Amino acid sequence: MKNSIAKLFLISIFSISSMALAQVQRIRTLTLMGSQFEITVVEKDSISAEQAIDKAITEITRIENLISEWRPETPISQVNRNAGIQPVKVDQEVIDLTKMALQFSKLTDGAFDISIVAMDKIWKFDDTMETLPNAEAIQSSIRNVGYQNIEIDSINSTLFLKNKGMKIGFGSIGKGYAADRARTLLKQAGVLGGIINASGDISTWGTQPNGDAWAIGVNNPFRNGKVAAVIQKKTEMSMTTSGNYEKFVEINGKRYSHIINPKTGIPSTGLTSVTIIGPDATTANGFSTSLIVLGKKKGKKLMKQFPEYSYVLITDKGNIIRSLK
């Protein structure tokens, strides 16, 4: 249930002023957590700015080493290897993130499920897949999907996957969490402002050097180079996008996206892109992934329960539905 890499355009507005002369902005782009990250900071001088970016990178790398299911030495990989065998002791941070994931699963009646990664051998979106998986293979994999079989022991700080063949992964909320953690760390260090852009999962704080709010454009996949909306707030903000238009496979002329419905084992349809705007990227990430699976009607109903979050939905027909505050 890994999020697609949404193309969001960071719209920078600069002017020459006394504030601009007193502050500098630095941007660094690099690959972290298997995706492109762009880290922007505003500081009093270039040395402080570069040091702040280094701190953010260290924190994001720490999180990757904690929750990646692709690196064999991580706690999550150990949990997956011991599925159906024994509980594995993990850091409290992993326990807390797993609890949040399970809350989303319950809230969405299973539309969000971190155990969906058990289907990674059935659907492949790396250009190697030439035929559709048969119904028997899909049903066999679905048996290993089910958040109800993720067991948390808060007292002993352990995770246990009850069934052999189960796997969990945090691709659906991990980059949003990393963006939030990096923002928190830099704010605590006194960094004036910035943007942590984790391949479209974004956390901002402060302002641009000239005092203007950060402006972020939501990509419109049906109109190349055009935006569906521009989000601009002077308050701290997070924004995430999940979409099915960048990572997919085409078989017999039909497109199948990488966001799988955990209940059916079939790629989700109906919404091409979901952008969620709110206080933190971890929660927004959970909502954006969930809405792709839930669809427009159920997704809008869910979001009514959380007025602090707004959305931009783009349907498979290119219709744009906004709920911006």
Q: At 273, is the secondary structure helix, strand, or coil?
A: strand
Mean pLDDT of 99-123: 93
Mean pLDDT calculated for residue range 153-163: 97
pLDDT value, residue 10: 52
Binding-site annotation, residues for Mg(2+):
172, 289
Question: According to the model, what pLDDT value does residue 13 have?
Answer: 39
Phi, psi angle pair for 67, to nearest 5°: -120, -5
**50-86 per-position pLDDT tens digit:** 999 999 999 999 999 999 999 999 999 999 999 999 9
Residue 322 has a pLDDT of 94
Average pLDDT estimate for 183-205: 97
3-state secondary structure of 165: coil
Please report which confidence band the pLDDT of residue 1 belongs to, taking 50, 70 and 90 as the band edges. Answer: very low
Nearest one of 292, 233, 325, 321 to 4, comparing CA atoms: 292
pLDDT bucket at 104, cuts 50 / 70 / 90: very high
- Kindly calculate the radius of gyration of the chain based on its CA atoms and give it in whole angstroms: 20
Task: Flag whether pLDDT at 195 surpasses 70.
Answer: yes
pLDDT tens sequence across 16-43: 333 444 699 999 999 999 999 999 999 9
Question: Domains of the chain by range and CATH?
Answer: 8-67+173-323 (3.10.520.10), 75-161 (1.10.3980.10)
**How many angstroms separate the Cα of 200 from the Cα of each of 9, 26, 196?**
9, 19, 9
Binding residues: 172, 289
Distant-in-sequence, close-in-space partners of 120: CB < 8 Å, separation ≥ 6? 167
**Do the Cβ atoms of 71 and 33 come closer than 8 Å?**
no
Answer whether residue 215 shows pLDDT above 50.
yes
Q: Model pTM?
A: 0.89
Residue 178 confidence (pLDDT) above 60: yes
Beta-bridge partner residues of 38: 29, 197
Residue 22 is predicted with a pLDDT of: 65
